[in-house]
Amino acid sequence: MRRASLLVAACILVVAASARATDQPIAGAKLLLLQSGGDQKLVFVSRDPAFLFPAIAGADDPGTGTPGGLQVDLISPLEPLGVSLVAPAGTGTPGWTAASGAVPSHRFRNAVAPDALSPLKGVVLKQGRVLKVIGRSIGLALTAPQGSVGIRITTGSLRSCARFDASTMRRDEAGRVVARGASATGLADCSNASLGGASPPDPVCGDAVQNQSSEQCDGTDFDFQSCGPLNVCRPAGFPGECQCCSNGGPFMSPEYCCNPSFIWVTTPGGGDCHATRCDPPWPCSGTDVCQPDGSCCALATNCHCAKSYADQGQRRPGLRLD
């Protein structure tokens, strides 16, 4: 339950992993991951001046930027796709504060973490001085030694990262990771692969996740706001895949019909996308029954679509009957 909520929260930073991100490998001074009973603790500290500091009031500002917030990704060979912890955008207490001056800084405070706001208790970013993260949840299961742990800190388009490999581990056991002195040398970028994990699969229509800009829906992942009364999702491999469609109803029009074999039957204020065929994955309409030859017919001898409409001269799918 907790992990699911963290992954949902990570969607706040949907542009963070875009190809436009700027990556900066950094040295890591300390990483601590503890799990004992129901208590968890995360501490990460870097004093590498090269870490990417988000300009105050700029697009990457974690408190006020677009999309705002800060995301911490933890990656290990045991969890190669990683887990995400988020400190969302928003100023105040709890929330983000920024200070300009000789040493510009951002701070996030959430004294009662982990809660609905964030699993992170505190974040400090002092330009050129320190990057520090304290969390009350670790995301990683820690059921066994990790081997290595990569950490990535994202604010908008800026990604700073470190990898603690086996040579840095002081303790690496179930429930406890203590590592010090990670070098930035050898890290090509901040990708999952560089941090000891695996890149997530490319988003495609049919993976049941609405993760492409062209998708209105993907299987059971349905955008009700965009689709409105269009309450069916065209499956992968068919024209109009991962786009919303309908079987008809009020205020509908023929271009939204799902089944390509439809005959449009006009009704007051809309119409009915009446299917003439039941070629998978498309079903027949209403009480019509799929026949062995792939046609849709009503029970008994009253063949509703394939015969009745054909007898009226409407032989081609998609023709209107108004």
In this prediction the pTM is 0.63
Note the pLDDT of residue 285.
86
Q: Which of 106-120, 258-272, 297-311 has the highest mean pLDDT?
A: 106-120
User: What's the whole-number mean pLDDT along residues 144-161?
Assistant: 97
Tens-digit pLDDT profile for residues 36-58: 988 999 999 999 999 999 999 99
DSSP three-state, residue 150: strand
Q: Quote the DSSP letter at residue 12.
A: G
Taking 90 as the threshold, does the pLDDT of residue 268 lie above it? no
Q: What is the largest CA-CA distance in the chain?
A: 87
Which amino acid appears at position 199 of this protein? S
Model pLDDT for residues 303-322, shown as the tens digit of each residue: 544 444 434 334 334 444 44
The stretch 290-302 carries a mean pLDDT of 77
The pLDDT of 263-286, averaged and rounded, is 87
Measure the CA–CA gap between 164 and 26, rounded to whole angstroms: 11
Long-range contacts of 283-287 (CB under 8 A, 24+ apart): 283/259, 285/247, 285/259
Q: Which of the residue ranges 60-64, 140-144, 153-157, 315-319 would you say has the lowest mean pLDDT?
A: 315-319
Angle at 78 between CA 75 and CA 80, to 5 degrees: 45
Residue-wise pLDDT tens digits, 1-22: 333 334 333 443 433 344 458 9
Instruction: In whole angstroms, give the CA distance from residue 179 to residue 166.
Output: 9
299: confidence class by pLDDT, cuts 50, 70, 90? low
pLDDT value of residue 13 = 40
Mean pLDDT of the chain: 86
Q: Alpha-carbon distance 170 to 156, whole Å?
A: 33
Is a pLDDT exceeding 60 seen at residue 144? yes
Give the pLDDT confidence of 76-85 residue by residue, as tens digits: 999 999 999 9
Q: Where are the domains of the chain?
A: 2-182, 217-311
pLDDT of residue 54: 98
Lowest mean pLDDT among 16-20, 46-50, 209-213, 231-235: 16-20
